[in-house]
Amino acid sequence: MDLLEYQGKQLFARHDIPVPDGRHARTVDEAVAAAKEIGFPCVIKAQVKIGGRGKAGGIKVAEDEASAREHASAILGMDIRGFTVHELWVEGASEIAAEYYAAVIFDRSAKQPLVMLSTRGGMDIEAVAEEDPSAIATLHVDPLLGFQAFHGRRLAFEAGVDADLVRPIGAFLGRLYATFVAEEATLVEVNPLIVTPEREVRALDAKVTLDDNALMRHPLNAELRDPSAEDPQEQMAKERGLTYVKLDGDIGILGNGAGLVMSTLDVVAQYGGSPANFLDAGGGSKAEAITSAVEVILSNPNVKAVLFNIFGGITRCDEVARGLVEAFNQISPSVPFVVRLDGTNDVEGRQILAEAALPNVYTAATMNEAAEKVVELAATAGAAR
């Protein structure tokens, strides 16, 4: 789960990472009130989960109440690279003597956290990483040992931090690492990490990604999930315990197991079709889960045909067949289905489907045959409209 900047900063504040004083606002009036409380000049910042806000005009300095109102009205509702701004963060303007970059990332390849520091922070850190990687000091940390003072010193010296800042920057990195571990993040990034004219260091931005699997241990973080920002079909699927990703096409896909479903999307695409979704019904799905999954798939109005691709291991094909029959009883779908069942209890599953003789349901013996058939059906349905 990606956090918004202000949520990340609130998380930082809980771990004693210095951040500017700020307030959250959902309306222009709230933003103006927040600005008056904080004092001028202050910064009005769009809260969206995408980079490049500054360049898009989503971050503005307000010198007085009138300009706070003007900027808040302009930014709320603004579209930033496909994301609509619904929330603002208003914070005190900081004087900046230098902009650094700091991050802790979950390095899958090395299987250790990677801490990064650069004195060339700011808007163009990606370009720095590309053109002059040596300008970014990096260090892997043994997760069983944790971040030590020498790690901080080494990164600070290697990044070329001014001598008087080596200790405070080291301490800052230590707190950033502690936040990464305590909140079970997979990314904490600060860009820019600023140095003020008074030689204080402060996080001017916060980019945090939390591990969804760990939210059960972090009730405060779990509450940060914003259902209104999610796609309605994806939200519906999540509530039903299904893994669903909405795509642009017109062929609904249901399978069991992430790898097989990904493979199904690919094979459908190879036959010239365009999948409307990824849906992993999961291992050991019972009939009710399948019925519920059909509802989720059909709640997307673009779907013209549906493909079931099941290779039962822990999932039993008879349960899948029962679920489909039940779905037809409950919602009588108007689009054709192609069903391919193999694996545990496949004979029983096919038997159930044969006896139910559902209208517009075709069976296929192989994955390729099923993909070919569903692509043909979707094309026919598309032409008929």
By CB under 8 A, which span of 68-76, 88-96, 209-217, 291-299 interacts with other proteins?
Answer: 209-217
Q: Least distance from C-beta 346 to other proteins, angstroms?
A: 10
Please report whether residue 134 would count as binding other proteins according to CB under 8 A: no
Q: Is 241 near other proteins (CB under 8 A)? A: no
Nearer to other proteins, 259 or 357 (CB): 259
Is 38 one of the binding residues for other proteins (CB under 8 A)? no
Point out the catalytic residue in the list 189, 319, 362, 372: 189
Q: Is 111 left (phi over 0), alpha (psi -120 to 50) or beta?
A: left
Stretches 11-19, 55-63, 140-148, 163-171: which one binds other proteins (CB under 8 A)?
A: 140-148
Mutual orientation of helices 367-384 and 258-270 as an angle, nearest 10°?
Answer: 60
- Residues 120-150 as b or e (16 or more Cβ within 10 Å = b): bbbeebeebeeeeeeebbbbebeeeeebeee
Q: How many residues bind other proteins (CB under 8 A)?
A: 50
Q: Residues 263, 317: contact at Cβ < 8 Å?
A: no
Whether 200 is catalytic: no
Nearer to other proteins, 259 or 301 (CB): 259
Q: Compose the 256-285 pattern: x for residues touching other proteins by CB under 8 A, - for all others.
A: xxxxxxxx-xxx-xx----x--x-x--xx-
User: Segment near other proteins (CB under 8 A), from 81-89, 129-137, 305-313, 331-339?
Assistant: 305-313
Interface stretch with other proteins, choices 16-24, 33-41, 289-297, 310-318 (CB under 8 A): 310-318
Name which of 334 and 366 has its Cβ closer to other proteins: 366
Cα(341)–Cα(362) distance, rounded to whole angstroms? Answer: 11
Cα gap 359→337, rounded to integer Å? 9
Q: Give residues with Cβ within 8 angstroms of 259, minimum separation 6.
A: none
Of residues 38, 51, 59, the one with CA closest to residue 125: 51
What is the nearest approach in angstroms of other proteins to the Cβ of residue 164?
34
Q: Which residues contact 347 (CB under 8 A, 6 or more apart)?
A: none
Report yes or no: 304 and 272 within 8 Å, Cβ to Cβ.
no
Q: 225: buried, middle or exposed (CB in 10 Å: 19+, 13-18, 0-12)?
A: middle
241, 368, 380, 382: which one binds other proteins (CB under 8 A): 368
255 makes contact with other proteins (CB under 8 A): yes
Of the candidates 301, 199, 216, the residue with the CA atom closest to the CA atom of residue 252: 301
Asked if 243 is part of the footprint of other proteins (rule: CB under 8 A), the reply reads: yes
For other proteins, the closer CB: 270 or 334: 270
Using CA atoms, how far residue 78 sits from 21, 35, 45, 59, in Å, is 24, 20, 12, 11
Q: Tell me which of 211, 288, 295, 348 binds other proteins, using CB under 8 A.
A: 211
Given 156, 195, 289, 367, the residue binding other proteins (CB under 8 A): 367
| 5: helix, strand or coil | helix
Which of 73, 112, 138, 351 forms a contact with other proteins (CB under 8 A)? Answer: 112
| Residue number, 342 or 348, with CB nearest to other proteins | 342
Structure tokens at 126: 């990606």
Beta strands in 272-348 (DSSP E): 277-280, 305-312, 337-343
Based on the shown chain and the rule CB under 8 A, indicate whether residue 217 belongs to the binding site for other proteins: yes
Pick the closer one to other proteins by CB: 187 or 356.
187
Calculate the alpha carbon distances from 234 to 247, 265, 306, 328 in Å.
11, 17, 17, 22
* Known catalytic residue at 177: no
CB closer to other proteins out of 144 and 357: 144
Dihedral sign (CA 112, 118, 120, 123): positive
Residues that bind other proteins (CB under 8 A): 106, 108-109, 111-113, 142-144, 181, 184, 186, 211-214, 216-217, 243, 245, 247, 255-263, 265-267, 269-270, 275, 278, 280, 283-284, 311-314, 342-344, 366-368
Enzyme catalytic residues: 101, 189
